[in-house]
Amino acid sequence: MGIVNVTPDSFSDGGCWATPDAAVEHALQLVREGADILDVGGESTRPGADPVPPDEEMARVVPVITRLAALTEVPVSVDTRRPEVAERAIAAGAWIVNCVAPFTELPGMAEAVKAGGAGVVVMHARGTPQTMAGLTGYADVAGEVAEALEASVAFAVDRGIGREAVVVDPGIGFAKDTNENCTLLARMDRLTSIAPVLIGASRKRFIGAVCGETDAALRDGGSVGVAVWAALHGAAVVRVHAVRESVQALKMIERITRG
């Protein structure tokens, strides 16, 4: 899953692809590099980010999704926490809603996904981007995250979304500190028993903490390492900035494990 941030303030590439033309060209480049899914987002969810009004978020993502749906057969995902944005994005051609907020707290999101016949990624999170940094702390992070994701899957199925259309995301970096993020990655087995798993760790702060790198744009080596680990331990999708490097690493791992 290649990341297409149509935002001025995302933590590593804010402003790089903030116009529709730039975002579309970047997305098509990611396809050329091997992306299987394009994840288009119009609101930064980094800790402390300012919220974006729904109309502005839609104005950022809908033109990009509309054009990508016409230009490529690669499925497009919309990265959002707002049902109204999801609804418009699906109408514009998005196949997947990557829900970056607690799914069970958003009944309107389930309705939008079901009505549009889309797939959905349900992510574990606490609070909002403005409050989540103060909401870390778990007695058993793998167990608590798994239980919350199980509840999200049940919530989706109860509202008519097919289980086969649901992917789970443990929410790396969302109300988790460095140790909690690493523990979740070490306990992938607890997650893969629930549903297909998406891991979105690319360039995040915990990689900088472990690797001693303050510049998010220089964390691709650590990010590829996490993507490879996740794939080897059962992840179905890895969400990345550096598509070319990640695809090459994963191709080599796949070839070596085949013998």
Q: How large is the average pLDDT for residues 114-127?
A: 96
Instruction: For CA atoms 213, 124, 109, 118, give the dihedral sign.
Output: positive
The parent domain of residue 206 ranges over 2-258
Active-site residue, from 187, 204, 205, 219: 204
Active-site residue, from 239, 251, 255, 258: 239
CATH of the domain at 227: 3.20.20.20
Per-residue pLDDT tens digits for 191-240? 999 999 999 999 999 999 999 999 999 999 999 999 999 999 999 999 99
Pairing type for strands 198-199 and 119-123 reads unpaired
At residue 164 the predicted structure's pLDDT band, cuts being 50, 70 and 90, is: very high
Q: How large is the average pLDDT for residues 154-162?
A: 97
Residue found by looking up tokens 């981007």 in the block: 129
Q: Does the active-site annotation cover 159?
A: no
Per-residue pLDDT tens digits for 27-64? 999 999 999 999 999 998 877 778 899 999 999 999 99
Question: Across the chain, what does the average pLDDT equal?
Answer: 94
pLDDT at 184: 97
Question: What is the per-residue DSSP string for 27-73?
Answer: HHHHHHHT-S-EEEESS--STTPPP--HHHHHHHHHHHHHHHHHH--
Pairing type for strands 2-5 and 38-41 reads parallel
DSSP, collapsed to helix, strand or coil, labels residue 157 as helix
Give the chain's domain count.
Answer: 1
β-partners of residue 240 are: 2
Q: Does the active-site annotation cover 190?
A: no
Distance between start and end Cα atoms, the chain: 26
pTM for this predicted structure: 0.93
pLDDT at 254: 93
Per-residue pLDDT tens digits for 50-99? 889 999 999 999 999 999 999 999 999 999 999 999 999 999 999 999 99
Phi, psi of 129 (to 5 degrees): -55, -30
H/E segment holding residue 3: strand 2-5
pLDDT: is 135 or 97 the higher one?
Answer: 97
Per-residue pLDDT tens digits for 3-33? 999 988 666 666 778 889 999 999 999 999 9
